Structure 1
Amino acid sequence: MGLGHDPCWRGQQVDLNRSRYRPSLRKLNIMEKYIMATNSKPLEGLTIVEISAFIAAPYAGLHLAQLGAEVIRIDPIGGGLDFNRWPITKDGRSLYWSSLNMGKKSLSLNMKDPKAQDIVRHLLAQKGQGQGMVITNLGARGWMSYEALCAVRPDLIMVQILGNRDGSVALDYTVNARVGYPWLTGPAEANDQPVNHVMPMWDVVTGMLAANALLVALRNRESNGQGQLIKIPLADAAMSVVSNLGLMAEVMVNDEERPRLGNHVYGTFGCNFATADGRQVMITAFTPRHWTALVAATQTEEQMQALAASHGVDLKKEENRYLLRDDIEKILQPWFAQRSLEAIGALLDEHQACWGPYQTVRQLVDEDPYASLENPMFQLVDQPHIGSYRVAGSPLDFSKHQRVAPTASPTLGGDNKDILINHLGVSEDDFHALVAEGVVGAVAE
């Protein structure tokens, strides 16, 4: 049944008008209340509904959950499109799904059933400034459209992630192909083939934009009582980055296209070097101090002075280091090739040069202290059905808020009972009836 009739659960009568949020006449400073309270979780008191799949929207929800918001992810019974996505454990549990849903609550519903749709509407109609917010990257049409949901909460905030701005389908990998980066990535000699990078960069960027957009809309609602719909096309997020970093201007103003450079850094000096023990390091020298430190650590002052004199340039200027990058690389190569990674690291650190070791993910996990429990961002989390392992919380370290410890991801539908009974006031008998009817998933799947 739809809203305006008896609620979908039989025994519990819910006054739909009472359950709608009506803006208070008293001015509330929601950002002061939830963001600026000393010793609280930064987003404590906010409840966000997430109806999503894959990366962008779940990443937004994860970011908000890591800051203390209550994030309720809604999935189909049995799991959505990404529930079994790789990587998976030996017994088929998705490490991908569990990682993107750490700290959230899980509600599993048969979203095709009008009773399940009623549950979503009632969840979004909960009273309070910290309620009535939803993030989705699924089709917000019909009963789930912004206009339809505003019927139960006029000041609803909805963040909707699209593929392309016209509503057509696009994913990170197709968007990345479109914005030019595959022709800038890879070896310099691979001029006739695009090279994809493997990080879903545009999903992550869009997810962070979605979280930011929700908080901006919340601040607006706090000041004037108005909700709004915010659309974020994945392709627009990517194109905004390409524009903001000057790549589009480079073509339009200079009539030039940036060349593919392999591991060299455009416009300055930076590249990789092999070590005596078979490792690789990345070296950068963006600033005069970086450059001075690198030259001092490698004891190449005389060679660099001779190189600069022969070309009549000052190598403390990064554009000159870029133009002479191949010569600088040749001067530095023997120094790295004659030393182990440990020896190189000690000397570069002594001089405060800017560098980093190339590591596999296994080396990151096994060897890097920044990825260990020495870093307070990481905690051991016991994930049901998977085991105990290190998990990162939010990288944000506030001076006026406690760090929110990461917690396990939910089992699919593991919060069904809590959400329906404690959030929506459904009786226990009616909850079990909804499960039996296939409207709500089993308590834990």
Structure 2
Amino acid sequence: MNPLPTGPAATAPEAPDLPLDGLDVVECASFVAGPSGCMALAQLGARVIRVDPIGGGSDHNRWPVTPDGASLYWTALNKYKRSVAVDLRSPQGRELVVALATRPGPGNGVFVDNGVGRARLSYETLAARRADVIHLHIQGHPDGRPAVDYTVNAEVGVATITGPESSAVPVNHVLPAWDLLAGMTAATGLLAALHRRDRTGEGEYIELALADVATAGVANLGWLAEAEQREAERPRHGNHMYGSFGIDFATSDGGRVMVVALTEAQWQALQGVTATTETFRSMELALNADLSLEKERYRLRETIAAILRPWFESRPLDVVTKELDGARVLWGPYRGMPEVVAAHRTAEDPTVVDWVEQPGVGRVVSARSPLRLGGAYGRTATAPLLGEHTEEVLGDLLGITQAEFGRLLDDGVVALPAGR
């Protein structure tokens, strides 16, 4: 099949002063890692063209959802992007995506995917069209076996050291931390490859396995080295912080706070506000301990917590908040997510979240990039409707005429949003 023609450059993306203005990324990815990494690039100004299967991919209706069934998950991870709905199983559909991913120009030729099977585009296919293409492929395991956050978290040993001391079974977490970290690693890898291409003119094929991200993560924290040297599993500590002093305390009105003393200054601040300095000095003498040392606070964590607990239990949360903040103690309140939403809604200054009118959903909480450029958060954005930009992108970037687009539409190669 002959290459499709390339048309004139599209209009400049919104906020052209952002660092990645002029960068185009074509994304064929589902679930968390690829979409979150590409969203981070889009928040910094890149034009991310998301290629969606006609009718939506396997994550298009993933929970959490609205009462009407619209995916809050999908719309939250795909904001700032453009959506092109294409049948990648058809030769014409594959050619459209190849053409998008290999368009000429210094800011083009960047492709991200986590596809498997026959519909997946290979680096060889892309590089044959554009030698300096950058292709980042996200996998489960480096040998191609599938994996998700919850399976690799089990595999790297985190679940066996999580949970209460009395637990005899692994405890899963609810946060897909490795997925999110893989997304940021993907973004870092793409930017590194772009920098190298700017210097050398060479493209790059990058593979990133979720299992490798998790394994490297626990290794980089020293956890694997510790396991090898101990020749045993690290003990579970429930809500106690491992290797230092940190534990939760209940307040008199049913609140709960997490208090941490990593440094000597933080430990002194905690003693001062709770009026326990003399008590702990006596404890040091009695036990021949030096609580200025982090390892000693960790060793005697249960005793320290027992001494501090009455101070918290005798005060309501608002008083605890005022006194801990005044003493510059390292702490944080336990909040439910509705409380988190309420706190941002009533904040006097801009925060990392705002509210947007998401098409098909309504008014929802939306996060900006946590990077504050020039001291300010960036703009908010919504996610596209499935296939919302199909005609615009193919026309502006590939020069597809209205007549040609109509034939592609009639043949089921591309699609527009439902109802259009």
Is the alpha carbon distance of 1:443 and 1:429 closer, same or farther for their aligned partners in structure 2, counting shifts above 3 Å? farther
Partner of residue 407 from structure 2, selected from 415, 424, 433: 433
1:197 is aligned to 2:179: no
* 1:372 shift after superposition: 4.5
* 1:143 shift after superposition: 6.5
In the TM superposition, what whole-angstrom CA distance separates every residue of 1:362-413 from its partner, at most 9, and x where no partner exists? 11111357x957334223211012112331111111338x743120000000
1:70 is aligned to 2:47: yes
Q: Is the 2:372–2:378 Cα contact (8 Å) retained in structure 1?
A: no
1:391 is aligned to 2:396: no
Partner of residue 164 from structure 1, selected from 110, 125, 141: 141
1:174 is aligned to 2:146: no
Q: Is the 2:102–2:110 Cα contact (8 Å) retained in structure 1?
A: no
Q: Which residue of 2 aligns with 1:22?
A: none
Is the alpha carbon distance of 1:368 and 1:280 closer, same or farther for their aligned partners in structure 2, counting shifts above 3 Å? farther
Partner of residue 283 from structure 1, selected from 259, 277, 285: 259
Give the secondary structure class of the aligned counterpart of 2:128. coil
Supply the AA of the counterpart residue of 1:56. Answer: A
* 1:253 shift after superposition: 2.8
Partner of residue 45 from structure 1, selected from 16, 19, 22: 22
Q: Which residue of 2 aligns with 1:423?
A: 397
In the TM superposition, what whole-angstrom CA distance separates every residue of 1:104-128 from its partner, at most 9, and x where no partner exists? 1101011111111111111112121
Supply the AA of the counterpart residue of 1:238. Answer: A
Q: Which residue of 1 aligns with 2:220?
A: 244
Q: Which residue of 2 aligns with 1:377?
A: 352
Q: Is the 2:385–2:417 Cα contact (8 Å) retained in structure 1?
A: no
Supply the AA of the counterpart residue of 1:394. Answer: S
1:125 is aligned to 2:102: yes
Give the secondary structure class of the aligned counterpart of 1:71. strand
Give the secondary structure class of the aligned counterpart of 2:414. coil
Q: Is the 1:47–1:71 Cα contact (8 Å) retained in structure 2?
A: yes
Q: Is the 1:372–1:378 Cα contact (8 Å) retained in structure 2?
A: no
Is the alpha carbon distance of 1:200 and 1:79 closer, same or farther for their aligned partners in structure 2, counting shifts above 3 Å? same
Q: Which residue of 1 aligns with 2:83?
A: 106
Instruction: Determine the C-alpha separation between the residues in 2 that align with 1:404 and 1:345.
Output: 30
Instruction: Determine the C-alpha separation between the residues in 1 that align with 2:217 and 2:151.
Output: 16
Q: Which residue of 2 aligns with 1:411?
A: 385
Is the alpha carbon distance of 1:311 and 1:56 closer, same or farther for their aligned partners in structure 2, counting shifts above 3 Å? same
In the TM superposition, what whole-angstrom CA distance separates every residue of 1:404-436 from its partner, at most 9, and x where no partner exists? 312000000000111011111111121122111
Q: Is the 1:68–1:404 Cα contact (8 Å) retained in structure 2?
A: no
Give the secondary structure class of the aligned counterpart of 2:258. strand
Instruction: Determine the C-alpha separation between the residues in 2 that align with 1:143 and 1:264.
Output: 46
Instruction: Determine the C-alpha separation between the residues in 2 that align with 1:144 and 1:124.
Output: 10
Instruction: Determine the C-alpha separation between the residues in 2 that align with 1:380 and 1:105.
Output: 20
1:361 is aligned to 2:308: no
| TM-score, length-scaled by structure 1 | 0.89
In the TM superposition, what whole-angstrom CA distance separates every residue of 1:38-78 from its partner, at most 9, and x where no partner exists? 98202111110110111111111111111111111111100
Instruction: Determine the C-alpha separation between the residues in 1 that align with 2:182 and 2:323.
Output: 39
Pairing 1:232-311 to 2, within 5 Å after superposition: 232-311=208-287
Supply the AA of the counterpart residue of 2:38. Answer: G
Q: Across the two proteins, how many residue pairs are aligned to each other?
A: 413
**Structure 2: unaligned runs, 5 residues or longer:** 9-14
Supply the AA of the counterpart residue of 1:358. Answer: Y
Q: Is the 1:41–1:404 Cα contact (8 Å) retained in structure 2?
A: no
Q: Is the 1:164–1:170 Cα contact (8 Å) retained in structure 2?
A: yes
Q: Is the 1:417–1:443 Cα contact (8 Å) retained in structure 2?
A: no
Q: Is the 2:344–2:351 Cα contact (8 Å) retained in structure 1?
A: no
Instruction: Determine the C-alpha separation between the residues in 1 that align with 2:16 and 2:372.
Output: 13
**Structure 1: unaligned runs, 5 residues or longer:** 8-13, 20-37
Q: Is the 1:142–1:148 Cα contact (8 Å) retained in structure 2?
A: no
Supply the AA of the counterpart residue of 1:352. Answer: R
Instruction: Determine the C-alpha separation between the residues in 2 that align with 1:185 and 1:99.
Output: 28
In the TM superposition, what whole-angstrom CA distance separates every residue of 1:195-244 from its partner, at most 9, and x where no partner exists? 00100011011111001000000000000010111111111110001111
Supply the AA of the counterpart residue of 2:361. Answer: I
What is the aligned-residue RMSD (CA, Å)? 1.9
* 1:175 shift after superposition: 0.3
Q: Which residue of 2 aligns with 1:144?
A: 121
Q: Is the 2:163–2:171 Cα contact (8 Å) retained in structure 1?
A: yes
Q: State, as a whole percentage, how many aligned pairs show the same letter.
A: 41
**Runs of 4+ that moved beyond 4 A:** 140-143
Q: Which residue of 2 aligns with 1:79?
A: 56
Q: Which residue of 2 aligns with 1:338?
A: 314
Give the secondary structure class of the aligned counterpart of 1:111. coil
Is the alpha carbon distance of 1:141 and 1:195 closer, same or farther for their aligned partners in structure 2, counting shifts above 3 Å? same
Which of 283-292 and 306-315 deviates more?
306-315
Instruction: Determine the C-alpha separation between the residues in 2 that align with 1:267 and 1:277.
Output: 30
| TM-score, length-scaled by structure 2 | 0.94
Q: Which residue of 2 aligns with 1:29?
A: none
* 1:443 shift after superposition: 4.4
Is the alpha carbon distance of 1:50 and 1:373 closer, same or farther for their aligned partners in structure 2, counting shifts above 3 Å? farther
Instruction: Determine the C-alpha separation between the residues in 2 that align with 1:99 and 1:403.
Output: 17
